[in-house]
Amino acid sequence: MIIEQTIVKIEKNYEMKISPVKKSRLDEVDFENLPFGKIFSDHMLWCEYKNGSWQEAEIRPYGKIEVSPALHTLHYGQAIFEGQKAYRMADGRVGIFRAHDNFLRLNKSAERMCIPQIPENIFMDGLRKLVELDKNWVPKDESISLYIRPFMYGSSEFIAARPSEDYVFCILTSPSGPYYAGDVKVYIEEEFVRSAAGGVGYAKAAGNYGGSFYPAKKIQEKGYTQIIWTDHKSHELIEESGTMNIAFVIDGVLRTPPLSDRILAGITRDSVLQIARSWGMSVKEEPITTYEVIDSIKNGKLTEAFGMGTAAVISPISTIGFRGNDYDIPPQGSDSFAIKVKSELAAIRSGRKEDTFGWMEIIG
């Protein structure tokens, strides 16, 4: 149920309708046992693109939406999304991590998928107001967070193979626990590919993930957590790992594959590289082969391997599987780079350390 609708002026002449819930579902949530992405906050942002322009955005109660079986995106997959997080800060306020970077990346994906660019005031002001309205859903434990899922999809009702004419932009929020629990074991994939040159690998397109489920399921049945994807030509170049970018510490140098149109430009990845450089660590964004990784494990030069992503944050890798063999990575203690950079990110997000990078969008 909802109470009367209010109008909130956000920026200059921009107005946003807000229809708050009459009774929150907050007391139904066990914040001590949060799954990832299964519990949703009271409200969502909703905005439609019709007749060649974005309409007025509104915040409404979270709930089901009615769609036609001819919904364009069900047939042609014209859908994109983002993943970002809001955190409870030490002083009780809420901070959204690198929100503007998610806005920019969403529009980069939109361009590649023939979706109209979302205006900055709709995305940023809508996000701020949504998080402010549901700020009590942000967990108080700084080790967990409010996961934020902005997404866009083609909402026309026709089954002709061409871009949709109408679109929906929506933001959901979800208090969530860790994405990965325990050791992360990965397997180097040499048969299936996530993306190819000239494709949509750099976009956060829904189909990129749907297409990865089958090979991921195959290796998970063998006891691994995720795949390390390799290039589509030779299967010799390391690219990324499932839901994460990937990095290695080899001979004291932080190594990660260079960005390309096959690899998602991870915001956590960029944050890790910026912190590493600010610490004076040697960083190389250059091609890494499967053979170099395995040889570096064998000769003791590879001391760390970890994934980086919004959902996963920093996930140390304990084992890399390759051609039927498992190669263990040395345990990462408190002095390892991955553990230290994870702690640094947590300190910035919580406000316990000065945000010299200007990453946090603070909600009062």
For 129, residues 6+ apart whose C-beta sits below 8 A from its C-beta are 8, 10, 16, 18, 45, 59
Task: Give the domain 6-176 fold.
Answer: D-amino Acid Aminotransferase; Chain A, domain 1 (3.30.470)
What one-letter code names the amino acid at 190? E
Mean pLDDT of the chain: 94
User: Between vectors from CA 123 to CA 212 and to CA 105, what angle results, nearest 5°?
Assistant: 40
Give the pLDDT band of residue 14 (cuts 50, 70, 90): low
Instruction: Name the CATH superfamily housing domain 184-350.
Output: D-amino Acid Aminotransferase, subunit A, domain 2 (3.20.10.10)
- The pLDDT of 273-298, averaged and rounded, is 98
pLDDT digits (tens, 9 = 90+) for 122-160: 999 999 999 999 999 999 998 899 999 999 999 999 999
Reference 339, options 316, 311, 357; nearest CA is 316
Rounded Cα distance between 44 and 64, Å, is 11
Rounded Cα distance between 269 and 58, Å, is 32
Q: Which residues make up the CATH 3.20.10.10 domain(s) of the chain?
A: 184-350
Higher pLDDT, 182 or 109: 109
- The pLDDT of 69-78, averaged and rounded, is 98
Q: Which residues make up the CATH 3.30.470.10 domain(s) of the chain?
A: 6-176
pTM: 0.94
Query: What's the confidence (pLDDT) of residue 364?
Result: 76
Query: What's the confidence (pLDDT) of residue 9?
Result: 44
Give the pLDDT band of residue 341 (cuts 50, 70, 90): very high
Query: What's the confidence (pLDDT) of residue 73?
Result: 97
The beta strand positions in 31-165, using DSSP E, are: 43-50, 53-54, 58-61, 79-81, 84-88, 94-97, 145-154
* H or E segment and range at residue 272: helix 267-278
